[in-house]
Every structure is written in structure tokens, then in C-alpha cells.
Structure 1
Amino acid sequence: MFPPELGEHGTLVHTRHGQPLPLSLCGEETVFVVRMATLLFRLTLADNIRQGVTLLYPGDVFRSAFAPPRSAAHLIALTSGEVLRYRFDTFSRLLSTSPAARDYFDLAVARQAARQAIHLTAVGQLDSSQRLITFLMELATHIGVPASEGRIVFEMPLSRTEVAEYLGLNADTLSRIMSRLRNEGLLTQPDRHTVFVRDLAALAALTPASQSMMSTRRAAPAADFPER
């Protein structure tokens, strides 16, 4: 559960699509706690090598020290929402005085590390279809909500090019796999941003990472989400 102390000491930032979130305040380290948004942590290395490293969902925590030194790191809001921002010294004092805040931070970081390990394994070991399906399972697990006829719906937070970058795929390959999944009746897309998963169990059966990914979900069960 979200400790009340976190809300009392943080600065509420309202995000919009594409908004960069500065990783320092007057040269000081920052911490972000995601309330209601999806964020992307992206690195740009020498020779303009750019990579989306991880997605952050409601409940996640990001400390600017997570970014490697001597790299161009960016935290970008992919959706409108709310993020709590702290100076690191303020957040550190809060963790030292509030066991609930400390437990929340430790659990959030552990859950994110597990999710990132699954993502890295998928990119390094799974074939193109399994990589994309693992990513779709990630979105369904962390931002999907129940819809009619037993479907799960979520808004795709990344563009086709960004998804291809995140998964290490060619954009055309990505499009072909999505078309196949639609033709097989596993997905429907009324527009390019909205995805309905028609059979979550059937989709999960197509990647060996599905059970591990679903286990990284926040504590609240799917039934707690409002229906659309």
C-alpha cells in the first residue's frame, strides 16, 4: 500500500505525454514515485546510440542514481498522470524515519529489478514473436484493466518505433507479428493506441516469460480495477 508519508513530503508533478522529468534539482539527486502515469527511462550513449531501458508504472520508484554516470539519461512521461518528486536528502530522511516508506521503496525496487531481468532475458534469448508477446504481457499485467467479454484493455504507451527499439526488433517485423496476432484473434486494435487482449491465457501460453512477468505485478488484484 502507498504510505501516506510519501504523499505528505513529495512535490506532486502533473505529467503530459512526452514531458521530460529533470533528474536533478539545482544539481541535487532526485527520487520519483509514480502515482498515475507510465514513464520511460532512456539512455543515449556515444555515437547517438539510444535505448529505452525500462518502463515505469504506477507504484514504481526511480532514483536518478539508477542512471549510469557519464551517460545522457532521460526520464520521459509517456502518459498524462501524476508523479511525486523528492530531493534525495528529503527522501532519504523519510526512509530512515518511516518503516512503511522504507518497506515500500525496497519492495518497489525489487519488483522493478525482477521485471527488468525478465525484459533483458527476453531480448537476449527469445525469438521476435516471444519478445513482443512478453512485452504485451507486461503491459496487460501492469496497466491493463478488465473490459467487456473478458478482455483486457490497455493504451500502448510507446510508438511502433519506440517498441521496436525497446525490444531490439525491426519495425516491419514488429508490424508483421502484431498483424498475425490480430488475425489469430488474440488481439484487437480499434485504433493504433488501444489494444484489447481477447484471450490473456492463450497469449500467455506463447511466451515462456509470462508466469514470471505476471508475478511482478503490484499487490492489488485485477478485480480491484474499474471496468470499462
Structure 2
Amino acid sequence: MAAPLSPADAGPSADWQATLPAELAEHGTLVQTRPGQALPLTLGGEETVFVVRMATLLFRLTVADNLRQGITLLYPGDVFRSAFAPPGPGADLVALTAGEVLRYRYDAFARLLEANADARAYFDMAVARQSARQAIHLAAVGQLDSTQRLVAFLIELATQIGVPASEGRVVFELPLSRSEVAEYLGLNADTLSRIMSRLRSEGLLSQPDRHTVFVRDLPALAALSPASASLMSAPRMNTNGPRS
């Protein structure tokens, strides 16, 4: 049985420091994350910015009657500005895994972007990449059937935090529980379990434990969802990682 992935294994973060401009890396406050940790969106009432170094985060909203919805997942290299969240108390940024993020006060971060073209280019590309992923996620939840939605989610995880394993497989650790995945995809938890069981029985996936997923045939899995091609071809901040 494979051991759960460590934060150092969870995705192509080896190149992270090579892609983040030194000016950003040097001026951020390093925050160690733990699963379930809420990251405050303000510091003393001032707006904040987070750059994900080595973790998976979830931005979610709680609306009327305590209905909660995950909006987007953030991976190594991604950025989050608290202005991305709508005003009000219902927005949360939550660490799903142990890892590290860099935190900035927005005014200081803005000065870094103004003074350094590489830092500005990094921020702009990160936001563009995240917006593209979120658009795919919204389209999948709104237009695709249950299997296609789940496959798109698995392909996103494989391409963002997956690492090569033996025999051409890709392995990643599920950052969400079954109920959280169902919530994120707008699925019934029983439907989610049924589709995962079918994908395992068809030899596309294996799960040595409830957190670890081995994708045994990435092209075959990707072929089950029309969103896969866009997810697999989207530009990435990191250069290492699995390829189809």
C-alpha cells in the first residue's frame, strides 16, 4: 500500500522557487498551513494577498441557510487576493493540506508589482491561469453529466498536483473528502461513490487508500470528459509534472 503523499511530493513544486520572482519570495511572510486551517482575508482590516508555495487551498462561500459551496481550488504557484472574494462574512480561504503559503499586505504587494516587471507578469499569468480553470469548472458543473464532471475534476488534480508513478501512472492525494468533492461538483455523494467504483472496475483508477488515487491510464480517463483537453493544455507556472 502506498503511503500518502507528503507536501513535498504533492505536485510539481520543485520548480516553484525558479518561477517565482525573487522580489516576491523575499518580501512575503511564510505561513505554515495545516489541513482545515482558515487563512484570514484581512490583516488589521487591510487587504491581503497569498501566493501558494506548497499546499492546496479552497476558496468557498457560505450563503443563505448555511449553504456552502467550494468556488475554486488553488495549487502551488497560484495567487489569491482578498478582493477576489465578495464582501460579507461568507467567504473563506481554507488550507486543505499541510504546506506553505506566502502572505503579503496588499499595499506592499502592489508596490512590488509596480516596481518589478517580472513580479507583475507572474501575478497576471497566475490570475489568468486560475480564471481559465475556474471557467472550466463552472462550465463542467453547469453543463456536463455526473461522470464528465468527476473526470474533469480528477484530470485537474492529476495535471496540477499529480506526480509520475511506476508503469506510466500518475498519483495524487485527494485534498477533499468524499462529501466535499460531491459538494464541489454538485453531485450526490452516493452518485460520486458509484462513479469512482466504476472507474476503478474499468481499470482507469486504483485507490490503495481513501486519500490516494493512482490514474492508471490518463489518456483513457481524459477521453471520458470534453473538459479534459482544456485542462491538460492550460499553461502552468511550474514546468515539472505529469504529461499525457
- Alignment TM-score > 0.5, same fold: yes
Q: Contact between 2:159 and 2:241, CA under 8 Å: does it hold in 1?
A: no
Query: Which stretch shifts more, 68-77 or 178-187?
Result: 68-77
TM superposition score normalised by structure 2: 0.90
Aligned to 1:144: 162
- Structural mapping, 1:64-103, within 5 Å: 64-103=82-121
C-alpha displacement of 1:215: 2.0
C-alpha displacement of 1:47: 1.4
The total of aligned residue pairs comes to: 224
Structure 2 residues without counterparts, runs of 5 or longer: 1-18
Superposition RMSD in Å: 1.1
Q: Contact between 1:29 and 1:87, CA under 8 Å: does it hold in 2?
A: yes
C-alpha displacement of 1:202: 0.3
Cα distance 1:204–1:41, how it changes in 2: closer, same or farther (>3 A)?
A: same
- Structural mapping, 1:96-115, within 5 Å: 96-115=114-133
Give the alignment partner of residue 41 of structure 1, picking from 59, 66, 69: 59
Q: Does 1:125 align with 2:122?
A: no
Q: Does 1:177 align with 2:195?
A: yes
Aligned to 2:42: 24
For residues 89-114 of structure 1, what are the alpha-carbon distances to aligned partners after superposition, in whole Å with 9 as ceiling and x for unaligned? 00000000010000000000000000
Q: Does 1:154 align with 2:172?
A: yes
For residues 30-82 of structure 1, what are the alpha-carbon distances to aligned partners after superposition, in whole Å with 9 as ceiling and x for unaligned? 00000000000010012111100000000000000100113511100001111
Q: Contact between 1:186 and 1:199, CA under 8 Å: does it hold in 2?
A: yes
Cα distance in 1 between the residues matched to 2:46 and 2:238: 34
Query: Which stretch shifts more, 95-104 or 211-220?
Result: 211-220
Aligned to 1:54: 72
Percent identity between the two aligned chains: 77
Higher relative contact order (CA 8 A, sep 6+): 2
TM superposition score normalised by structure 1: 0.96
Cα distance in 2 between the residues matched to 1:20 and 1:78: 9
Cα distance in 1 between the residues matched to 2:25 and 2:225: 38
